[in-house]
Structure 1
Amino acid sequence: MGILDSFGALVGSIVAAVVMLVFAVLSFFVTVFIVQTGAGIAGFSPSGDFVVLSAAILSTGAIVAGATPMTGLSGVTE
């Protein structure tokens, strides 16, 4: 049964990676919309490359911050 357990863990990891990738792409699209709308409200009309660059930086920061273990800052011990 050890091989089947390992295969199940592998499939679970692949599914988790695909789901995380889908959520990362969706968050990027939402961030592009937010950046473009915010620039429009502020009266700016940036070109598409600057909108995509700023959305990529914001999305990357959010994903890295969400993946970083912050238990040391919370003061909660297990």
Structure 2
Amino acid sequence: MSLHPLNETEINELRNQLHELQVEHRDLDLVISHLIESPPPDDLLVRRLKKRKLLLKDRILQLEQMLVPDIPA
């Protein structure tokens, strides 16, 4: 995380990136569900997609934390 407060442009860029990652995460969820329901499932592909989904979730959490202002203790 940066030590300086984010300016409006940086905040908007983070929000856009966050939205794109959330959409991709949701889409991956749908694809994974479809693959699992369609016999026979491609186990390797499902595992790879789940791994990608977890990476996206981690990045989404990072961006959300960057957008929450620090509260002084």
Which structure features the higher share of helix residues?
1
Greater relative CO, 1 or 2 (CA 8 Å, sep 6+): 2
Normalized against structure 1, the TM-score is what?
0.46
Normalized against structure 2, the TM-score is what?
0.49
- Structure index of larger Rg: 1
